[in-house]
């Protein structure tokens, strides 16, 4: 019977909006079906409002039909199933293929397009979210660093006068170091935002690897070797691991520590625990590997030839990711002191050239993805000049396979230089074309051949073997709105007992507002039921009753709870927060889970809501209000979580 009702509502909605062919796409939020209409003149508003089961209509950028929580996802699912597409996917039209043929094609495309993401994809997406926002800074400072490197190399080679140019080079180095000298701090802040930790604490954890404040006369020792720790050991991956652990510790402490002392206790304990772990385990582990890496590098160099060039060219970028490249500086200097040149640097420089080739292949293969192409356009110039971070962290690494094929390109370039042999640089410097002026004994042509080989190798390996299928599908469908996940709640039937009065307690602390003050007609008009709103002062949402969690929306911005007395309560955190797609929201309960009054159900980052320009005001609505004689607001002005908020008379 319920299934028939959902199908009827879906069918009647289509009948009153001009049919399926007048709808561009369908999505839904917690309470309403949202349709993108092609021709608004075909919509019968009176007919929509008259549908049994429709609570109201909101006309906005999309036509919103309010059917209530627990019903909305079923109706929306029926609507897209009737057409043969997924939620959020553009409806087929009459152009080209027939409606039925287009429907079948859409089904096949949707099946391939919306595969369940793997854990690896989730990790790579997180890395992308951390580093992509930094691309403008990488590009700007990277170009400055590249120009500085070219000028510095020309000064070292004697082509420019140091007295004239050195001050300008110093200024550019100051600008460059504003990012690269403190890169781990920026990464720590972004990683904390991504993992749900406090951003400033993430910055502190990122800064720990710099070892500022360590007593040089009594340095902290590597627990594996007994040697002093070196700044930078652990690299970016060490920072990411430490901040991820910070997010776990911080969340657990928020649950355990009383709110009155949470601001003092949680950050202090979190920093101490993660800081000790980072200094005494993560950094020493990286240091242990780097110390033993010298013997491996020397062994490979002794073998010589194309093989050693290939191995070193492939291995360099993974070394950078682990921060192990820090140990190479002394090796370069030792080689220069003994032989007048470092033969290692030109080979390792090929790794960056492989990234350039890979990026060009991605551009060619995924050129329809305009966002990705823009990132590549910004990162390529600095990559050619030898600054690889924008390409690594903004393009190849988040995609996974292109990072590997880029390393293969670096190996090919290294093999070319190793084959000719005795190609060295007279001073340490960046890679890419900026190193050409430092190549010793006029062998710059061999170095250029290596660069071209790495470009070509990275391009071909990536073009034919390095493009992930999901990235290709995304590019081919660029501009189409990604579907919203659906949730099919199996609402637990609760027998309403006789009661004299039921109580709904405040799920959060904050300022009490009338529903009429909410800037959304669905709530302010009482369309969904009677209740109250709270402007929250913190991001913890607790259960307002003893009962059952009936609905947790996939984006976690709304939750439904049914009390033991049968009172159905909807808590909707913020306005239009469905657009955040779950970012800043964390759920601690599942659908059909039993909760007690005061149990933590959700946590939300209020700063993230405000940063997105959205309101955090939270309606708490009794959606089955019509079943009760009266619903009274007990709280006034300010309310603390756990205080009486609403009283219900049967």
Q: How far apart are CA 216 and CA 237, in angstroms?
A: 26
Q: Which residues of 101-131 are buried (b: 16+ CB within 10 A; e: fewer)?
A: ebbeebeebbeebbeeeeeebeebebbbbbb
Q: Say if strands 63-66 and 32-37 run parallel, antiparallel, or are unpaired.
A: antiparallel
Query: If you average pLDDT over every residue of the chain, what do you get?
Result: 81
Q: What is the pLDDT of residue 427?
A: 67
Greatest mean pLDDT range, 162-166, 428-432, 452-456, 521-525 = 452-456
In this predicted structure, the answer to whether residue 446 has a pLDDT above a threshold of 90 is: yes
In this predicted structure, the answer to whether residue 290 has a pLDDT above a threshold of 60 is: no
**Residue 535: band (very low, low, confident or very high) from pLDDT cuts 50, 70, 90:** very high
Quick one: 399 exposed, middle or buried, by C-beta within 10 A (0-12, 13-18, 19+)? Answer: buried
Kindly report the CA angle at 535 between 503 and 538, in degrees rounded to 5? 90
Interval 238-259 mean pLDDT:
88
Higher pLDDT, 438 or 182: 182
Q: What is the pLDDT of residue 483?
A: 36
- With a CB cutoff of 8 Å and minimum separation 6, the contacts of 624 are 529, 566, 567, 568
Q: What is the pLDDT of residue 497?
A: 44
Interval 361-389 mean pLDDT:
84
Phi-psi sector, 93: left (phi>0), alpha (psi -120 to 50), beta = beta
In this predicted structure, the answer to whether residue 425 has a pLDDT above a threshold of 50 is: yes
In this predicted structure, the answer to whether residue 565 has a pLDDT above a threshold of 50 is: yes
Higher pLDDT, 484 or 383: 383
In this predicted structure, the answer to whether residue 99 has a pLDDT above a threshold of 60 is: no
In this predicted structure, the answer to whether residue 100 has a pLDDT above a threshold of 50 is: no
In the chain, ranges of CATH 3.30.1360.60 domains: 2-113
Q: Which two tokens stand for residue 249?
A: 């510790």
In this predicted structure, the answer to whether residue 102 has a pLDDT above a threshold of 50 is: no
Q: What is the pLDDT of residue 493?
A: 39
Q: What is the pLDDT of residue 27?
A: 85
Class of domain 2-113: alpha beta
| Best CATH choice for the domain 502-649 from the list 2.40.100.10, 2.70.70.10, 3.40.5.90, 3.40.50.300 | 2.70.70.10
Measuring CA to CA, which residue among 375, 385, 376, 392 is closest to residue 320? Answer: 392
Measuring CA to CA, which residue among 526, 552, 554 is closest to residue 541? Answer: 552
Q: How far apart are CA 464 and CA 645, in angstroms?
A: 62
Q: What is the pLDDT of residue 146?
A: 67
Greatest mean pLDDT range, 72-86, 259-273, 383-397 = 259-273
Q: What is the pLDDT of residue 390?
A: 76
- Integer angstrom CA distances of residue 214 from 183, 211, 219, 231: 19, 6, 6, 10
CB atoms closer than 10 angstroms to residue 210: 15
Higher pLDDT, 463 or 287: 463
Higher pLDDT, 299 or 475: 475
**Residue 322: band (very low, low, confident or very high) from pLDDT cuts 50, 70, 90:** low
In this predicted structure, the answer to whether residue 364 has a pLDDT above a threshold of 90 is: yes
In this predicted structure, the answer to whether residue 326 has a pLDDT above a threshold of 90 is: no
Does an H or E element contain 7, and which? helix 2-16
Q: How far apart are CA 411 and CA 453, in angstroms?
A: 9
**Residue 428: band (very low, low, confident or very high) from pLDDT cuts 50, 70, 90:** low
Q: What are phi and psi of 534, to 5 degrees?
A: -130, 130
Model confidence over 491-502: pLDDT tens digits? Answer: 333 344 456 778
3-state helix, strand, coil in the chain (%, to 5): 55, 15, 30
Model confidence over 130-156: pLDDT tens digits? Answer: 766 776 776 677 667 767 877 887 887
By residue count, the chain amounts to 650
Quick one: 398 exposed, middle or buried, by C-beta within 10 A (0-12, 13-18, 19+)? Answer: buried
Interval 103-126 mean pLDDT:
50
In the chain, ranges of CATH 2.70.70.10 domains: 502-649
**Residue 205: band (very low, low, confident or very high) from pLDDT cuts 50, 70, 90:** very high
In this predicted structure, the answer to whether residue 430 has a pLDDT above a threshold of 80 is: no
Higher pLDDT, 435 or 271: 271
- Whether 335 and 342 have beta carbons less than 8 Å apart is answered as yes
Model confidence over 189-202: pLDDT tens digits? Answer: 988 888 888 899 99
Q: Which two tokens stand for residue 291?
A: 């110390």
CB atoms closer than 10 angstroms to residue 51: 18
In this predicted structure, the answer to whether residue 164 has a pLDDT above a threshold of 50 is: yes
**Residue 509: band (very low, low, confident or very high) from pLDDT cuts 50, 70, 90:** very high
Higher pLDDT, 298 or 618: 618
Model confidence over 20-30: pLDDT tens digits? Answer: 888 888 888 77
Quick one: 186 exposed, middle or buried, by C-beta within 10 A (0-12, 13-18, 19+)? Answer: buried
Q: What is the pLDDT of residue 510?
A: 92
Catalytic residue positions, numbered:
29
Q: What is the pLDDT of residue 604?
A: 93
Beta bridge partner(s), residue 585: 604
For the CA atoms of 433, 435, 441, 444, what is the dihedral angle to 10 degrees? -10
Q: What is the pLDDT of residue 260?
A: 79
Q: What is the pLDDT of residue 491?
A: 37
Q: What is the pLDDT of residue 119?
A: 61
Q: Which two tokens stand for residue 606?
A: 């209020």
Kindly report the CA angle at 126 between 376 and 263, in degrees rounded to 5? 130
Quick one: 68 exposed, middle or buried, by C-beta within 10 A (0-12, 13-18, 19+)? Answer: buried
Does an H or E element contain 353, and which? helix 350-365
């Amino acid at each position: 019977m319920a299934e028939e009702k959902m199908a009827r509502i879906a069918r009647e909605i289509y009948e009153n909006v001009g049919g399926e062919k007048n709808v561009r796409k369908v999505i839904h939020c917690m309470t309403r079906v949202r349709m993108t209409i092609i021709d608004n003149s075909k919509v019968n508003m009176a007919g929509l409002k008259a549908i049994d089961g429709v609570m109201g209509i909101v006309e906005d950028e999309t036509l919103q039909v309010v059917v209530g929580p627990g019903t909305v996802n079923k109706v929306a699912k029926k609507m897209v199933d009737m057409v043969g597409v997924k939620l959020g996917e553009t409806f087929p039209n009459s152009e080209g293929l027939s409606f039925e043929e287009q429907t079948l094609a859409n089904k096949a495309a949707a099946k391939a397009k919306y595969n369940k993401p793997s854990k690896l994809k989730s990790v790579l997406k997180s890395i992308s979210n951390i580093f992509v926002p930094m691309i403008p800074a990488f590009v700007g400072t990277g170009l400055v660093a590249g120009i500085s490197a070219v000028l510095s190399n020309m000064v070292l080679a004697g082509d420019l006068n140091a007295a004239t140019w050195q001050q300008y080079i110093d200024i550019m180095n100051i600008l460059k170091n504003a990012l690269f000298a403190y890169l781990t701090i920026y990464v720590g802040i972004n990683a904390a935002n991504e993992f749900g930790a406090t951003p400033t604490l993430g910055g502190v954890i990122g800064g720990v690897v710099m070892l500022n404040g360590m007593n040089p006369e009594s340095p902290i020792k590597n627990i594996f070797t007994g040697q002093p720790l070196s700044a930078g050991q652990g690299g970016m991956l060490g920072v990411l691991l430490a901040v991820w652990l910070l997010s776990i510790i911080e969340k657990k402490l928020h649950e355990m520590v009383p709110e009155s002392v949470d601001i003092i206790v949680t950050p202090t304990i979190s920093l101490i625990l993660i800081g000790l772990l980072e200094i005494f385990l993560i950094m020493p582990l990286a240091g242990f590997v780097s110390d033993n890496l010298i013997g491996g590098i020397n062994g490979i160099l002794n073998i010589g030839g194309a093989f050693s060039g290939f191995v070193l060219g492939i291995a360099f970028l993974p070394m950078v990711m682990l921060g192990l490249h820090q140990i190479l500086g002394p090796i370069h200097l030792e080689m220069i002191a003994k032989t007048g040149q470092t033969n290692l640097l030109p080979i390792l420089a090929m790794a960056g050239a492989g990234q350039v080739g890979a990026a060009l292949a991605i551009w060619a293969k995924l050129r329809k993805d305009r966002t990705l192409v823009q990132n590549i356009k910004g990162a390529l110039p600095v990559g050619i000049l030898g600054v690889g971070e924008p390409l690594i962290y903004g393009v190849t690494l988040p995609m996974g396979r292109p990072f590997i094929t880029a390393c293969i390109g670096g190996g090919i370039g290294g093999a070319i230089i190793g084959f000719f042999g005795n190609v060295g640089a007279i001073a340490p410097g960046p890679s890419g074309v900026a190193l050409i002026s430092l190549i010793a004994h006029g062998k710059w042509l061999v170095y250029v051949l290596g660069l071209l080989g790495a470009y070509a190798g990275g391009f071909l390996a990536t073009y034919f073997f390095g493009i992930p299928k999901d990235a290709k599908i995304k590019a081919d469908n660029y501009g189409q709105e990604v579907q919203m996940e659906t949730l099919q709640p199996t609402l637990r039937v609760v027998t309403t007992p006789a009661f004299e009065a039921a109580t709904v307690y405040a799920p959060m602390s904050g300022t009490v507002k009338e529903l009429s003050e909410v800037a959304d007609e669905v709530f302010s008009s009482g369309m969904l039921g009677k209740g109250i709103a709270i402007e929250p002062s913190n991001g913890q949402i607790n259960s307002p009753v003893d009962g059952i969690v009936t609905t947790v929306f996939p984006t976690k911005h709304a939750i439904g709870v049914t009390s033991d007395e049968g009172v159905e309560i909807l808590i909707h955190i913020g306005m239009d927060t469905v657009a955040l797609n779950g970012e800043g929201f964390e759920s601690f309960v599942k659908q059909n889970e039993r909760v007690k009054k005061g149990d933590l159900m959700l946590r939300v980052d209020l700063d993230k809501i405000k940063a997105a320009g959205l309101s955090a005001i939270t309606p708490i609505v009794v959606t089955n209000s019509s079943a009760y004689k009266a619903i009274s607001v007990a709280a006034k002005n300010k309310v603390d979580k756990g205080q009486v908020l609403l009283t219900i008379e049967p």
